Structure 1
């Protein structure tokens, strides 16, 4: 793909510098999710709060593929579902709004919320025990993950209370029979969690499919891994996002338009 995104020149002039930077990072997250095959056509969502406000967040237009998303096409909505700014005129997916808005409202510490429907994520979400201590990627989430039981397509607003309850103090959640959700203070942080949660699910499904007896690590080892990867000051928090942005710039820099 080369320069095939939905770009609108008037968007840049209509938003603050801080919002534009957030738009570029969120568009990058969409393109990266597409690159790593974490898409479900137009039906999953990545969102981020507009800097300087708790009331507005950015979401993808309901009709744009992840590899088409640009900074300028993202839709700005408020927590009540009112569209504040929609450059495309396409609108948003109500189910996506329902899931993301309640988390943005209830958890002001989480500025980005990413939700996917991948084959591996859904496969683990359909397993009664959920994510197992089978890989280092999985153990980083030891006792740091919520589970939400499936209630059907997310169109009933009463489900929001239970989504928030089941996420609890965690930053990642498995939506049973549905998919994965990861959140963070920054888009980079949320994407890192989503990437490794997805990889953990892939590893689990592949290990199970081999038919051999599995080695499941102890809770003590899993907690040791989680603490090591959860420690403050890890250099990856400064190094990985610029590297990923460089990857996108080589593939197709139109995400930043």
Structure 2
């Protein structure tokens, strides 16, 4: 029986700033919990409701595991702080995140990591391959941005916008990966499974270097699987919509201080 496709554009209820702060803090804690953080570096940002295009970003100097809902610095697209904060904002974080937030109206959450597996994949000429089902959702749905040095020059912003295009994943060559979500849970799940796909690929390639052979599916099969994920065939939902409540239960058991 032919699978049915669900429309990509689904109604997403807007959240208040207070609700977004709690979700964003949860996202930081989850990235740390799953080992995808990089000390005090990397960033997850969320655009706040309203026409001002203000967004929240982490204070420069805190570990992801320390962040809570009241930690964030509110800034505008020019990097100016909105309200009082004693914390600075990382320059590269401002450049990368302000680019995507300004260039993509649907970019409510932007998540950037330097996780080991994703960074290793970013350094491979062929990038992420359809080695596993984890990787299939990204086939044909990734942008690629060449390394230009530490992202502290504002003129790189337009190239970041151009390179991500309509996609929700941007591979940053020799640097890491960036995901975009219409919600915070969506951006997190896209990052979580990119990292998982990257780890599986590196393990398979390591085995292949010892004499085994990679068994890659036919192109048409990879394309079919990508459509199933991207168009929400069957009971596949938007990334994060089904998983997020379980993650919140996990965090509340481990350390509910992210809510403070």
The two structures have a TM-score, normalised by structure 1, of 0.90
Q: What is the rounded CA distance, in whole Å, between the counterparts of 2:139 and 2:46 in structure 1? A: 25
Please, which runs of 5 or more residues in structure 1 have no aligned partner? 1-16
- Count matched residues: 240
Q: Which residue of 2 aligns with 1:234?
A: 236
Q: Contact (CA 8 Å) 1:79, 1:101: kept in 2 or not?
A: yes
Q: Return the alpha-carbon distance in structure 1 between the equivalents of residues 135 and 84 of structure 2.
A: 38
Which secondary structure state, in structure 1, belongs to the residue aligned with residue 16 of structure 2? helix
**Structure 2 residue 182 is matched with structure 1 residue 185:** yes
Q: Which deviations, in whole Å up to 9, do the C-alpha atoms of 1:200-254 show, x marking residues without a partner?
A: 1111111111222111222211111112222347357543111100000000000
Taking the TM superposition and a 5 Å limit, the aligned residue runs for 1:1-257 are 18-87=16-85, 89-210=86-207, 211=209, 212-232=212-232, 234-235=236-237, 237-257=240-260
* Structure 1 contact 141–226 (Cα < 8 Å) conserved: yes
Determine the C-alpha separation between the residues in 2 that align with 1:203 and 1:74.
34
Q: Deviations over 1:92-144 (max 9, x none)?
A: 10001100001000101110000000111111000011111101111111100
- Specify the SS of the correspondent of 1:85: coil
Which segment is superposed worse, 218-227 or 163-172? 218-227
After TM superposition, the runs of 4+ consecutive aligned structure 1 residues lying more than 6 A away are none
Where is the helix percentage greater, Structure 1 or Structure 2?
Answer: 1
Q: CA deviation at 1:86?
A: 4.7
Task: Give the secondary-structure state (helix, strand or coil) at the position aligned to 1:147.
Answer: strand
In the alignment, which residue of structure 2 is the partner of 1:7? none
CA RMSD of aligned residues (A): 1.4
Please list every run of 5 or more consecutive structure 2 residues that lacks an aligned counterpart in the other structure.
1-14
Q: How far, CA to CA, are the matches of 1:221 and 1:110 in structure 2?
A: 29
Q: Is the 8 A contact 1:120 1:202 kept in 2?
A: yes
SS across alignment from 2:112: strand
Q: When the two structures are superposed, what TM-score results if normalisation uses the length of structure 2? A: 0.89
Q: CA deviation at 1:45?
A: 0.3
Cα distance in 1 for residues equivalent to 2:83 and 2:35 = 29
